[in-house]
Each structure stands twice: as structure tokens, then as C-alpha cells.
Amino acid sequence: MSNNSNSLTGKNIAITGATKGIGRATATLLSSLGANLLIGARNENELRELTSILSDNSVKVIYQHLNVEEENSIIEFLNLGITKLGKIEALINCAGYGSFNSFLETTTEEFDRMISVNLRGSFLTSRYFAQHMVENKSGQIININSIAGNTVLAGNAGYSASKFGLLGLTKVMQLELRKQGVYVTSILPGATNTAFWDHIDNYPDRSKMIPSETIAMNIVSILSQPDGAVVDEITITPPLGVL
């Protein structure tokens, strides 16, 4: 982790998909470092419970039900953050959905859902928050992608399509936004030990996966970069490589 992590004290950061996996680990770590948080997810009970826990760190934590497939939900999420916290200085897109089948067995509904959440949802959330950041001439956006975003894996037809698309989207965002003071990073984790795998049959040994807390530490490092450098993209793999 960067030694500059104390720079996060008082920083206003938004996290989507905040109640589970990488999102929850990141929210927990950031709040312990003094960041104020705007957290969103589909399950309001889980949001309320997490907010109660994180508020014990003497930071501001506000939550909003968020469905990244619905444009109005994203607008309400951003507006609440601006109203309650002021300038939003960073956005971490953790919301995601995966369903794994062979190309021939992938249903239209499964494919559409992954494109809608992983690609379209990240596009919409990033666009609205980036507009706010451009107005303020500064900001950071971190898109949580996947190793499936640049590596071909059998059984990942729809998931890879959404994540390859997200990687391309992120590269365009980097090119267009950096001159306006907004920096964008793509993180491509390998298999990470989260509840993502709970409904997936025949998953790899979860004890050999990356702990979600490790991804959170890398996110903190990116948010804490000293002046003069920007991290465009990092790939993080389990010690044994792609599982």
C-alpha cells in the first residue's frame, strides 16, 4: 500500500456494489483511512447494516439504493452524494454480475444482463460522475474489470464480452478525460474469493483465490499515488496464476 494513504482522510469517495466482495472490502478499508463514503447497492438492508459498521470510524457514510441498470437510480445516487458530501472526488465501479456457460448454452437473458450491469452500468455511472468531476477539474474513476476482460476463458462468452467491452470503454475514458483533470484506472483481477462464486457450480478452490482485501489495498494504492504519475491499468492474479 502507498505510504501516501493518509491523503485519503476527508476525501469523498463513491462505491457501487458496496455491500459485497471487493466493494465491501474497499469501503471498509477506505473508511478506516478516514475517507467519507457514498455507498450504493441493490440490497438496502445490507447497505444500512454496512453504514452502521463503517460510521464507527468517525467518518461520513451515506447510502442509497442503487441499480446501475436504471439511469434515474444513478442520477439520484450522485445527487445525494453531492448534497450530503459536496464534491465527489473518486468513483469506484464495483457493481458486477456473472453467469458462466458455454457460448452455445448462454441464454439471451444471461447475455443481456451481463452487458447491462457490467458494461452499460459502468458506462452510465462513469458518465454522470465524470461530468461532475470535469466541472470540478479533478477526479478519479476506478473500473473493476476482470482477467476475463483481456484473456480468453472457456465458458465466459457473455462475461468476457461485457468485460472486454469495459476495458475498451475505460481506455477511451482515459484518453478523453485526462486532459480535463479526471484520471481513470482499469483493475483486472483474477479469481477473487467473494460471494460472486456462491451460485456458480464447479468453481476453483476458493482458498487459492485472491482475498478481496488484497484488491482493496491495491485500490487504495491507486487512490494514493503521488503527483506526477497515473496508473492506467493493473492486472492482479492469484499466486498460482489463472485458476
Catalytically active residues are: 159
The count of C-alpha atoms lying within 13 angstroms of the C-alpha of 71, restricted to the half-sphere facing its C-beta, is 5
Q: Which amino acid is at 108?
A: T
Residue 40's DSSP bridge partners are 16, 64
**Whose CA is closest to 134, among 92, 66, 184, 84?**
184
Pair 188, 149: CB distance under 8 Å: yes
- Cα 113 from chain centroid (whole Å): 17
- Residue 78 C-beta-side C-alpha neighbours within 13 Å: 21
Task: Tell how strand 90-93 and strand 12-16 pair up.
Answer: parallel
* Main-chain dihedrals φ then ψ at residue 186, nearest 5 degrees: -110, 125
Instruction: Note the Cα 79 to chain centre separation in Å.
Output: 19
Surface-to-core class of residue 207, CB atoms within 10 Å of its CB (0-12 exposed, 13-18 middle, 19+ buried)? exposed
Q: Which 3-state string (H, E, C) describes 54-89?
A: HHHHCCCEEEEECCCCCHHHHHHHHHHHHHHHCCCC
